[in-house]
Each structure stands twice: as structure tokens, then as C-alpha cells.
Amino acid sequence: MGRTAIVGARVFDGEEVTDAGVVVLDGPRILQVGGAVPDGADVVDAAGSTLLPGLVDAHVHTSVEALELALTFGVTTELEMQGMFTRHNRAHVTENDRVADVRSAGFGITPPGGHPSELMGDDGHDGDGDGGEETPWEGVEDEDGTSPWADVVMPFSTTPEEAVAFVPRLEAAGSDYIKFMIDDGTVEGAPGLPLLSDATIAAGVEEAHRRGLLTVAHTLTVDATASAVAGGIDGLVHLFMDGPHTPEIVRSVVASGAFVVPCVVLNASMMGIPATELAADPRVNSRLDDAWTATLRSSYDRYPQGDLRDVLASVKALHDAGVDILVGTDVSFPLPAFGGMAHGASVHHELQLLVRAGLTPIEALRAATSVPARRFGLTDRGRIRPALRADLLLVDGDPTTRISDTLNIRQVWRRGAPLFR
């Protein structure tokens, strides 16, 4: 692969708009930002366009096909939040420039019968007598037909000692970060689910930190959020939707230093709001098959009593108080029951919703680029800087002033490889 010079684009480098004018790729890396076009480089005339770092979706449940779809929308990295694609199980993704790159939590620590068991419609056991080591994601297989999780025992933990014991097992199984499920089922229409105790969360987090591992928590209620931040969690991969924010909860999130991945698109879907407008956008539906379009047009609809205005106001309050906001979606599979989201497309939807909440377009774009890279320790991406990965998105127009222009996709590069001919 030779050198490619992208010339004349407005450059959003992950933090600011620069007057670089020229960005040169050399194989899989960015060679230079600004300066002259090197002799012999292939030139891409990008006048009228904006060059951005490839986007990051900081909360997904993915597959190879979904990673391929995400990349067509300029999403170059997805962060898996349950099960698949741990460090030892993703060489086929790492080395494939036709799909988005991925990092993974592996399985989240939860009590026996705890979330996400209720998504299966029973107590999490599927009746095959193997001790309940089942999830909605079991049965997903690698290309060679074997499940990478065949030997994994689900990290069910009831006590601090059990949580502490699971952290090194998850680390050995290749988890990039350790996830804790804190969910009593309130907003899923399954109240009364068993919960991790505050002491169990705190002990597990402490063990993860002792090993230098980042910790994240699934928290959809104010109470679960308070538990997570009290336990020292580094990041919340949802935003509470069971009521408006209070000064107390905002203060405690700020004081903890935790980041928040609001997944507003998921909260909207939980409240019964489908992504109808997004699905009607030809820039979106032209890239989706019928199953994904139908999924966008449906919704989870498990918490219709919720108010999306509360969620948007909470995003704004946390952002204004200095909390790092990250773009994530909780997108999963092309099934109406998991509706309202599609891989890649929903990242653009979430960007629009963050702007609707009150972030500027540039603040929203940071939330999908430099901020997730910084908070998840992805030091090789998320900005347009020399020596970083050439994971890039080129769009027509100016999303730094009109956020929906992110959907005017002209080209995507993954490790310097152009996706479209």
C-alpha cells in the first residue's frame, strides 16, 4: 500500500477543526497532518468535504456481519459489552479491513438469575441442564463452527469473594475491560431481579483496578447508578431512565470521575420510540437490508412510562458538570424485539440526539472519537495525528456545524484501506 494524500478537506482531528488542508496516509498509519503533498502520493480531492477520525460505538453486541455493516457507516471501532470478541478470539476481525475493529468486556459479572437472564423470558436457564451457563448470545459461533466461549463459566457472583475470584478469570479469557451488571429489572418490565450488592461491586472493582483493568457498569436506574459510582466504577455504559436527574446523582457521578455512555437511542427504544425518521433517510436505508430496516422501525417498548426529555436533560446536566459523554448505542441483532437500532447507523442517530440534548456538534463528535479513545485506553486511534491508525471517515458538508452531515459518507478508511472503490 502506497501513500494517499487527502487534500482540501476541512479536518476535524477528534478534538478541534484544524486548518491542516492535507492529511497523508502511509499504509495503515497517518504519516503527516498538514504540509505538502509528497511526491508520488495518490491524491484524493476532498474539497467541500470533512475528514474525521473513524467513529467509535462504545456499547454494542456485535457479530462479524454487524462489524461489516458498522464500517460502511464510518464506525471503525465497536466496543462489545457482553461475550464475544475477547482478546484471543478476534484475529479474524483485527486483520480484516472490511469490518470494524472490536474490543470486548467478555461476559459481565452478574448474580445467578440476574440481568440479562430476563431477556430470555425465564430465569436465564435454557433447560438443557448445563447449569444455566446460557445467555442470549450463546450459540453464536466462530467461522470454524466452534463457540469461543465453550469452556467459559458465566461470571455469576453473589459475594465479594466470588467477584474477586472472577476478575482474573475474565482477564485470562481476554476481557479488555470488566463489566458489572447492576439491574433490578425495573425498566425491562421484570422487577425483582437479583442485584449485585454494593460490597460485591466494590470488591470486584478493586480487584480489577489492582490488575490495571478498566471497569464499566450496566446501570439503567438512578439507584443502580448510585451503587456503581459508590463502588468506584470507571464508566457507566447506560444512562438512567427511571426519572429526572437530581443534583445529588449528578454530583456523585462528577465526584467519581466516571464517564457516561448514555445510549439515548436505547432509552428511546425502551420507551417505545422507534427510529422511524432514521429508517426513512435514504443515506441510511440504502445501506441496510430489510431485516435491519424493520429492526430500526420497531422498538423494545418495555418502559413506555419513561420520558425521553428527562434523558436528554440528564445528558446535558452531566455534560455541563464536566462528565465525559461517549457515543454508544447498545445495538445488537436484526430482530424487532431488539428494535430501534442498527449497527453503524445508530451512531449517527446518537450524535443527532446528543446535539438535541444540548451538546455542540463538535462536542458530540468528540464523544464518538477522541473521548472514547482516551477513556478506553485506545491510544492508537480516535484522533487525526501522525503515527496513529489511518481509521478515517470522509463526509460531504460540515458536520461540525450540522451534525446530520455525518451521514453524507464519501469514503471510509480502515488501517489506510479504502472501503469504497
Which residues of the shown chain bind Zn ion in the complex (CB under 5 A)? Answer: 81, 330
Q: Which residue is nearest to Zn ion (CB)?
A: 330
Residue placing its CB nearer to Zn ion in the complex, 78 or 330 = 330
Burial of 248 (0-12, 13-18, 19+ CB in 10 A): exposed
Which SS3 state, helix, strand or coil, does residue 5 take? Answer: strand
Rg (CA), the chain: 21
Closest contact distance (angstroms) between CB of 180 and Zn ion is 13
Distance from C-alpha of 372 to C-alpha of 79, rounded to nearest angstrom: 10
Distance from C-alpha of 33 to C-alpha of 371, rounded to nearest angstrom: 20
CA distances from 3 to 15, 411, 416 (A): 25, 16, 9
Residue placing its CB nearer to Zn ion in the complex, 68 or 330 = 330
Residue placing its CB nearer to Zn ion in the complex, 13 or 330 = 330
Backbone angles phi, psi at 401, to 5 degrees: -120, -25
Q: Are 279 and 293 in contact (CB under 8 A)?
A: yes
What one-character-per-residue DSSP string does 261-327 give? Answer: ---HHHHHHHTT---HHHHH-HHHHTTS-HHHHHHHT----S-TT--HHHHHHHHHHHHHTT--B--
Residue placing its CB nearer to Zn ion in the complex, 6 or 224 = 224
Alpha-carbon dihedral 375, 378, 380, 382, rounded to 10 degrees? -50
Closest contact distance (angstroms) between CB of 108 and Zn ion is 9
> Is residue 233 left, alpha or beta, with left meaning phi > 0 and alpha meaning psi from -120 to 50?
beta
Closest contact distance (angstroms) between CB of 152 and Zn ion is 18
Closest contact distance (angstroms) between CB of 343 and Zn ion is 13
Q: Are 81 and 129 in contact (CB under 8 A)?
A: no
Closest contact distance (angstroms) between CB of 81 and Zn ion is 5
259-260 sheet: strands from edge to edge: 178-182, 215-219, 235-236, 259-260
Residue placing its CB nearer to Zn ion in the complex, 266 or 308 = 266
The residue behind cell 418502559 is 303
Residue placing its CB nearer to Zn ion in the complex, 188 or 330 = 330
Residue placing its CB nearer to Zn ion in the complex, 12 or 137 = 137
Residue placing its CB nearer to Zn ion in the complex, 68 or 78 = 78
Closest contact distance (angstroms) between CB of 222 and Zn ion is 19
- Residue 65's contacts (CB-CB under 8 Å, 6 or more residues apart) are none
Closest contact distance (angstroms) between CB of 61 and Zn ion is 6
Q: Provide the 10 A C-beta neighbour count for residue 226.
A: 19
Q: Provide the 10 A C-beta neighbour count for residue 379.
A: 10
Closest contact distance (angstroms) between CB of 300 and Zn ion is 11
Closest contact distance (angstroms) between CB of 117 and Zn ion is 14
Q: Which three cell numbers stand for residue 203?
A: 470488591
Nearest partner of 322 among 355, 371, 361, 377, judged by Cα: 371
Residue placing its CB nearer to Zn ion in the complex, 301 or 363 = 301
Q: Which three cell numbers stand for residue 415?
A: 488501517
Residue placing its CB nearer to Zn ion in the complex, 81 or 296 = 81
Closest contact distance (angstroms) between CB of 267 and Zn ion is 12
